[in-house]
Structure formats: structure tokens, C-alpha cells
């Protein structure tokens, strides 16, 4: 929901940073994998309840996630690069939640499981829509620079990182925050399914 606004704010700084990275000879895929590894570093830190330090690595992951796209647009986007970016993002999102489950299994495991369950809904509805949109050659007017069709919703990347920040700042409230966000993810899944029905249903159906 907030991604279009966030993109407008960070677009120029990311483009400038991408120029510098390009001059250093780095590729977008290298930035993607580096950011992914930095993000995974947060998991053992969360398990050890080092929440503030874990937040640093979570934010670094998100920074690199923005940089790889800006660099790809400068060097030329590739299908594999877009694929790698999505795969790393989905694994990272779930990994962070697992980190909080490991931090306090007795208290957090159930809420973490419900949240990851909701991620399956948002992820599958997002990717399935993108597949069908590509099949019908439907392009996004909101995210024309993306490698696949980005269908919006209540819980996009900006909202997810906001949720992770709240987790790290208020770990004692993980269960409540996780369940609220899971409910919002559920609403996102429903709206995406309805959008798919409206978009892909033909007269003969």
C-alpha cells in the first residue's frame, strides 16, 4: 500500500548510489546475494535476543534490496536477476520470523507459525497473479520498471519492514504485532484473489 510513496522518496538516492556501485564494477546479482547474506545474519542475532543489532542487518538487507534494483536498471535488467531478487526476498521475510520464534519458542512459535502461514497467502497470490499477467501480456502501470507484475495490497514491502522494525523495538509484543500483521496479510490475499478474478475471468468462464 505504501510502496509507491516510498519508492518516490528513495528513488533518487538509490540511483546515485547505483552509479557509484557501477563504477566499482559490481553487478546487481552480487548486491542481491550480499544483501541476502546480511539479512540472514539477523536470524542468529534474533535467536540470541540481540534485537537492536539484528535490526541493523535487517535494514541493511532492505537497503541492498533497493540498490540491486537501481543497479539492474542502470546495467540492464535480466530475468534471472529478477527471479533471484524475489527468491531471496521471500526467504528473508520468513527467516526473520523464524528468528523471533527461536528467540522464545514457548511464547513466539505459534504466532510466528501463523504469520509465516499468512506469508504463504500473500506470496502465492502475488506470484500467481504475476504468472497469469505475463501470460496475458498485462503490464503494471504503477511498477513498470519491475521484472514481473507487482500486484499491490495492504501489506507490501514497506509495511513488512515496518512490522519487522516494530518486532525489534518491542520484542515483548511480538505475538500481538505478528497476529495483527497476519490478519492484514490475510486481507491482502483476499483482495488479490478478488483482483485476479476480476482480471482473468473471461466471458466464457
Active site residue ranges: 89
For 151, half-sphere exposure in the C-beta direction (CA atoms, 13 angstrom radius) is: 24
Q: Is 146 left (phi over 0), alpha (psi -120 to 50) or beta?
A: beta
Tell me the C-alpha distance between 77 and 71, whole Å. 9
Tell me the C-alpha distance between 149 and 127, whole Å. 8
Query: Which 8-state DSSP code applies to residue 9?
Result: H
Residue with cell 539492474: 72
Alpha helices in 78-104 (DSSP H): 79-103
Amino acid at each position: 500500500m505504501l510502496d509507491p510513496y516510498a519508492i518516490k522518496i528513495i528513488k533518487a538516492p538509490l540511483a546515485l548510489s547505483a552509479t557509484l556501485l557501477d563504477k566499482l564494477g559490481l553487478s546487481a546479482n552480487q548486491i542481491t546475494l550480499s544483501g541476502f547474506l546480511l539479512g540472514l545474519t539477523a536470524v542468529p542475532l534474533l535467536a540470541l535476543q540481540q534485537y537492536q543489532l539484528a535490526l541493523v542487518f535487517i535494514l541493511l538487507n532492505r537497503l541492498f534490496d533497493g540498490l540491486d534494483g537501481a543497479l539492474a536498471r542502470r546495467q540492464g535488467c535480466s530475468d534471472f536477476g529478477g527471479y533471484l531478487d524475489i527468491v531471496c526476498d521471500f526467504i528473508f521475510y520468513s527467516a526473520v520470523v523464524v528468528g523471533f520464534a527461536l528467540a522464545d519458542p514457548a511464547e513466539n512459535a505459534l504466532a510466528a507459525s501463523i504469520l509465516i502461514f499468512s506469508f504463504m497467502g500473500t506470496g502465492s497470490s502475488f506470484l500467481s497473479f504475476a504468472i497469469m499477467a505475463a501470460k496475458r501480456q498485462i503490464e503494471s502501470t504503477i511498477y513498470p520498471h519491475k521484472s514481473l507484475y507487482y500486484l499491490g495490497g495492504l501489506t507490501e514491502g514497506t509495511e513488512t519492514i515496518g512490522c519487522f522494525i516494530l518486532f525489534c523495538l518491542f520484542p515483548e509484543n511480538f505475538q500481538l504485532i505478528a497476529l495483527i500483521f497476519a490478519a492484514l496479510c490475510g486481507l491482502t490475499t483476499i483482495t488479490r484473489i478478488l483482483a485476479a478474478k476480476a482480471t482473468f475471468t473471461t466471458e466464457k468462464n
